[in-house]
Structure 1
Amino acid sequence: MKNCKEMAARWNVTERTISAFCKAGKIPGAVKIGKSWQIPDDAQKPADGRVQSGKYIKRTSNEYKPLPIGISDYIRAQAEYYYVDKTMMIKEFLDQKPLVSLFTRPRRFGKTLNMDMLRVFFEISDEDTCRFFTDKKIWKCGESYRSHQGKYPVIFLTFKDVKFTSWEATRDKIRSLLQEEYGRHENILSGDRLAEYEKEYFIRILDGTASEVDLSSALEKLSKMLTEYYGTAPIIIIDEYDTPIQEGYSQNFYQEIIGFMRNFFSGAFKDNRYLSYGFLTGILRIAQESIFSGLNNLTVNSVLDEEYDEYFGFTDAEVREMLQYYGALGKYQELKEWYDGYLFGKEEIYNPWSVINYIAKGYIPQAYWVNTGKNEILEDVLKNATDDITERLYALLQGERVVAKIDQNVVYRSLSEDPANIYSLLLVAGYLKAPGKELQADGSWLCEVSIPNREIAAVYKSEILSHLLQVGAITRTTANKIAESLYSNDSDRMQKAIAEYLDRSISFYDTGAEGFYHGLVLGLIALMDNQYRIKSNRESGDGRYDISLIPRTEKHPGILMELKWKNGLDEKMLERLAEEALHQMKNKRYDTEMREEGIGKILKFGIAFSGKKVKIMTE
């Protein structure tokens, strides 16, 4: 057997290419041992499937399988649709055999489909389910892996649709999910393997009369009954476990759902001798709420971990293979710019939901993923943004990297304690990536974070700016007026546009600090990022300017802004304050940075605020 480095030298390609071939199943007999691929000595070099030209050939609809938009049923997905084979996840699990595994990934990254794949592979069934895997990668790995197929009872629950506005409705939905899952195992009521009291409990779950206490013990009791019936402890799979917890936070029944889940999961996973293995998926690890208190057998796999890094989302090799199948390799670069950019562990990952929608809907690039939900995470975390965080979020919008401490155990209510946890939530939720990271002694990470791709940049423009302004969506009319007035150096028109916006959109009580006005002006001009690189609070000359707009092309002038604020000013005093701002830019040589970059024409705006009044002076 050879490693990637040795085969790369033999075939005159890069190690990354060899790794991609292995992941795509293009090298028969290649096996991943630990984190390295081992390749048979006599392996033949696969055909190179990379883009050779910009040629784009779109097949007719009857020539290829449809894409599995919204399909999370493994049997159906792999039989009727284009299926990206993720069955090597089973091998990686069986090589390590952690007792309980938690996978945290953003929504719509294939968590439910993967969990259903695990269910079908491991679950005891009356039919021969191995036929759903004989043509998959896992089946080529040998009898030691195939021997686990169809050998365990499985408890499977998905909470992805448990989204209600009250604890009562949430509890009733969980009751119905348990009712259905118990119904799947109704056969164990036959015979005399269960005690009478166990059958009575089972029937209470089935007929919907179980109390809240009964429900909280449902996983623990069913696992015991399945073990008694089959002689083998079950595998418990809980998909999107934190969805009802997120709803509890946003809908004000947080304590009720946390209290229930603590007992529910403790009975299933903590010191449960009737458990073979456990799998959970979600967006967050809810550790600080003690849901998993004392669960020492829990192995967490997050977006920062290298284990299982390629199994949620699509790899570059998988995307190329998909485009080749649909005759659309010429669309590779556009697809990459829009939907690539995530880093899970060390693996470059594409958003799978967006990729399949992009191809299925005729290769039209737009923000597909952000339209699948209400982006409650953004709404919640932005309410707690400080001035410093606001400026950093604007910097991210300009394509810059921001250094942030990432705590993977962060939960929603900790935002009020430390708003800097915003970055942790945005990272695990898929709104940021971490191209640079360093593990700290306390288990947190110090990361360089940035926006992954054009799709997420689009949601920053449409969602983040409007929330940071605290005034609803920025109208296109207002944005156009601001842009046009800046280009034409028309301070009167700019002043009028800002004043109208202030008067129409902002309560007098929202005003009252320079940081507020700073954020407001940043928001109004941030939509111009195609023409300018926007910087805030940077050193230049003998001080720190408030806002600079550095042109991306020579046809636009540079723009500097200095903001001042004071309450209770009349028109004349407000004008003097704007002049003071203008003089400060000149006296402290704030234009030094731009002039060093060779920018000849620089516009300077001194902007003064007092309540809803604004005055702009220009040079």
Structure 2
Amino acid sequence: MDKKIPYGISNYKRLIQDNYLYVDKTKYIEKLENLHAPYIFFLRPRRFGKSLFTSVLENYYDVNGKDDFEELFGNTYIGRNPTKEKSDYYVLKFNFSRLDTSTGESLKRTFLEATKKGFSNFITNYNLIIEFNDEGFPATVFDSFLTQVEKKINKPLYVIIDEYDHFANELLSFKTDIFSEIVSKTGFVRKWYEVLKIGTETIIKRIFATGVSPITLDSLTSGFNIGSDITRDVRFNEMMGFNEDEVRTLITKCTKSSILEKDMDEIVHELRKNYNGYLFSEDGRMRVFNSDMVLYYLKSYEDFNKGPKEMIDKNIASDYAKLGNMFNLKNKDANMKVLDNILKGETIKSSITAQFSLEKDFEEDDFKSLLFYLGLLTIDKEILNRVTLKVPNYVIRELYFDFFMKKLNESVDYELNVSEIKEALEDLALEGRCNSLIECVEKTLNILSTRDYIKFDEKYVKLIFLTYCFLSRLYLVKSEYEVESGFIDVALLKQSNVSPTYFAIFELKYISKKQFQEQGEKIVNEKLSEAKAQLRKYETSRELREMKNLKKFAVVFVYDKCVVNEEILDK
């Protein structure tokens, strides 16, 4: 029977028993066990396989798992190379992904509920009778439980915490007062981790905690200062997510018939462009794919023999939509400047902060680091003792332009007409006309021109133009697209599973109000000639020569008005 794509499956036992494909990450169990660090924190962006990995650990170390071991692990690395601690723990697992952060009280209540849920599952799994105080502060309840458990078990505890920081990411952008309160010296989260630390002196032998950002780590370390953060350890760069070999193996196994090498390369190219690019250690060499998004794509391929219409999984898109609030964190103006630099394609240099706290100054590097941990930026390369960061892939770049569109809406007096913008792009895609698109851009520029705080320049005009092109999802949108003969300002190319009649390249020129007042039509003609010459040069490149129905446009803006919109016809 063909194995199934495990999209959305985070329970390892179910994955194996129900015949889903598994990308074997069990060699990392051995690596983790051999570390001289029994209490581990490991951070990765959302939807990166963290929950499944914790389930693998749970099943591997569970003392009750001896009878199922061969079934669950027989075909894996760790099944062939078991460690001395396999099936040797009582596993106590907490999941903090569903906390209610609407108020401080609701957070405290649901944190306690999640804690007690972990206890309830533990008692059921091991068929124990444990009487403990289940009322009061979470730390008090936790302490009471550990005291009673110690009397009932004859092996140590392995504590697994999934999404230890989920509540923090929800709170940080708009309820920092609640966050500060719960992690303060008397806060219930800090106190809970103090109990966890005390437990390591008796029955807790190992801890593995996953999360997204280290923003809580600093706030907790005075209560729990024994954890090792291995997030950027090069040995674990590929522990979650998929490398390219793993992706190719998945494709081979999920396609219903033997796949041609050409088709394999096309699928891998599509996945690489949209979902790859993540590097979590500057010493790493292998970039990894977001595992959820790869499985999302391959599930569509399994069901319909082609990729999805929407290249970003709506579940991930909704996660990242919330993260847009992070731009309001602390110094909003400085954060927006970082966003501006990212959108304009400028080099982003930073030292990556290992831990940061709201109780200290939140610097620009801290914000860039936060974007790194969230998966919105990734390591490009190391420069001395810093790194340059870049947007990892195309779907994340689209999300940035979605953020910018939202900010653009906030800057004008009326809601931008998204339907009008999409129809303008459809007119270009089906009829080869860009007039409506230019009018949409011009209308926005006209409104923004009354805002003294908007700094108009060629890059800003191009940014708005790009934002509208990204919005339609009709094209693969490229800025400063490199061809043999130079860099095209804006290229609208073939997007997966969308088939426009026409494609387009644009050369955009901008003239300030002052320049036009001083030089008039002379500078307009100069800019137009420059744009036309560049387009003529680009069209000689092999890639563009082979592209059918390619439209070429020279567009000149004077401040907030388009004064030239000229199609350059083939010679």
Q: Shared fold by TM > 0.5?
A: yes
Q: From 154, 158, 162, give the equivalent of 2:99.
A: 162
Partner of 2:353: 407
Task: State the 1:497 CA deviation.
Answer: 4.5
Task: State the 1:309 CA deviation.
Answer: 1.9
Partner of 2:297: 358
1:499-538 counterparts in 2 under 5 A? 500-501=443-444, 511-515=451-455, 521-527=461-467, 528=469, 533=479
Task: State the 1:114 CA deviation.
Answer: 0.9
Task: State the 1:418 CA deviation.
Answer: 3.0
In 1, distance between residues paired with 2:369 and 2:408? 18
Amino-acid identity (%): 19
CA contact (8 A) 1:606 1:618 kept: no
CA contact (8 A) 1:130 1:149 kept: no
In 2, distance between residues paired with 1:189 and 1:531? 57
Say whether 1:67 aligns with 2:5.
yes
The residue type paired with residue 335 of structure 1 is: L
Q: From 310, 327, 332, give the equivalent of 1:381.
A: 327
Q: From 431, 435, 438, give the equivalent of 2:376.
A: 431
Q: From 148, 160, 177, give the equivalent of 2:85.
A: 148
In 2, distance between residues paired with 1:112 and 1:240? 8
CA contact (8 A) 2:382 2:388 kept: yes
Partner of 1:254: 179
The residue type paired with residue 236 of structure 1 is: V
In 1, distance between residues paired with 2:62 and 2:149? 12
In 2, distance between residues paired with 1:602 and 1:506? 23
In 2, distance between residues paired with 1:305 and 1:87? 17
Partner of 2:220: 291
CA contact (8 A) 1:286 1:409 kept: yes
CA contact (8 A) 2:108 2:188 kept: no
Task: State the 1:257 CA deviation.
Answer: 3.2
Say whether 1:118 aligns with 2:57.
yes
CA contact (8 A) 2:5 2:254 kept: no
Q: From 129, 153, 158, give the equivalent of 1:235.
A: 158
CA contact (8 A) 1:339 1:354 kept: yes
Task: State the 1:324 CA deviation.
Answer: 1.0
Does the C-alpha gap of structure 1 residues 599 and 324 become closer, same or farther in structure 2, counting only changes over 3 Å? closer
Structure 1's unaligned 5+ residue stretches are: 1-62, 441-445, 536-547, 565-575, 608-613
Task: State the 1:477 CA deviation.
Answer: 2.5
The residue type paired with residue 340 of structure 2 is: E
Which of structures 1 and 2 has the bigger CA Rg?
A: 1
Say whether 1:98 aligns with 2:37.
yes
Task: State the 1:79 CA deviation.
Answer: 1.8
The residue type paired with residue 524 of structure 1 is: I
CA contact (8 A) 2:349 2:387 kept: yes
Does the C-alpha gap of structure 1 residues 350 and 120 become closer, same or farther in structure 2, counting only changes over 3 Å? same
In 2, distance between residues paired with 1:456 and 1:318? 22
Task: State the 1:157 CA deviation.
Answer: 0.2
Does the C-alpha gap of structure 1 residues 549 and 439 become closer, same or farther in structure 2, counting only changes over 3 Å? closer
Aligned with 1:435: secondary structure?
A: strand
Partner of 2:473: none
In 2, distance between residues paired with 1:323 and 1:498? 41
1:323-362 counterparts in 2 under 5 A? 323-327=251-255, 328=259, 330=264, 331-345=267-281, 346=284, 347-362=286-301
The residue type paired with residue 509 of structure 2 is: L
Q: From 198, 207, 211, give the equivalent of 2:136.
A: 211
In 2, distance between residues paired with 1:437 and 1:77? 38
CA contact (8 A) 2:197 2:224 kept: yes
Aligned with 2:69: secondary structure?
A: helix
Does the C-alpha gap of structure 1 residues 499 and 119 become closer, same or farther in structure 2, counting only changes over 3 Å? same
In 2, distance between residues paired with 1:489 and 1:123? 62
Say whether 1:391 aligns with 2:337.
no
Does the C-alpha gap of structure 1 residues 408 and 589 become closer, same or farther in structure 2, counting only changes over 3 Å? farther
Partner of 2:568: none
The residue type paired with residue 298 of structure 2 is: I
Does the C-alpha gap of structure 1 residues 251 and 171 become closer, same or farther in structure 2, counting only changes over 3 Å? farther
**Deviations 1:53-99, CA, capped at 9 Å, x for gaps:** xxxxxxxxxx5122222222111112212122222121011111412
Partner of 2:420: 477
Partner of 1:573: none
Q: From 502, 508, 511, give the equivalent of 1:562.
A: 511
The residue type paired with residue 475 of structure 1 is: V
Does the C-alpha gap of structure 1 residues 126 and 513 become closer, same or farther in structure 2, counting only changes over 3 Å? closer
Q: From 150, 168, 180, give the equivalent of 2:117.
A: 180
Partner of 1:449: 389
Does the C-alpha gap of structure 1 residues 227 and 233 become closer, same or farther in structure 2, counting only changes over 3 Å? farther
Does the C-alpha gap of structure 1 residues 587 and 242 become closer, same or farther in structure 2, counting only changes over 3 Å? same
Greater shift, 81-90 or 552-561, is seen at 552-561
Structure 2's unaligned 5+ residue stretches are: 471-475, 482-487, 494-502, 539-552, 566-571
Task: State the 1:218 CA deviation.
Answer: 3.9
Partner of 2:496: none
Task: State the 1:339 CA deviation.
Answer: 1.9
Aligned with 1:121: secondary structure?
A: helix
Does the C-alpha gap of structure 1 residues 591 and 420 become closer, same or farther in structure 2, counting only changes over 3 Å? farther
In 1, distance between residues paired with 2:192 and 2:384? 32
Does the C-alpha gap of structure 1 residues 391 and 276 become closer, same or farther in structure 2, counting only changes over 3 Å? same
The residue type paired with residue 431 of structure 1 is: L
Say whether 1:282 aligns with 2:221.
no
Q: From 244, 260, 263, give the equivalent of 1:316.
A: 244
Task: State the 1:460 CA deviation.
Answer: 2.6
Pairwise CA RMSD of aligned residues?
4.2
Task: State the 1:496 CA deviation.
Answer: 6.5
Task: State the 1:499 CA deviation.
Answer: 6.6
The residue type paired with residue 402 of structure 1 is: I
In 2, distance between residues paired with 1:190 and 1:360? 40
Does the C-alpha gap of structure 1 residues 597 and 173 become closer, same or farther in structure 2, counting only changes over 3 Å? same
Greater shift, 493-502 or 252-261, is seen at 493-502
In 2, distance between residues paired with 1:507 and 1:170? 44
CA contact (8 A) 1:382 1:464 kept: no
TM-score by length of 1: 0.68
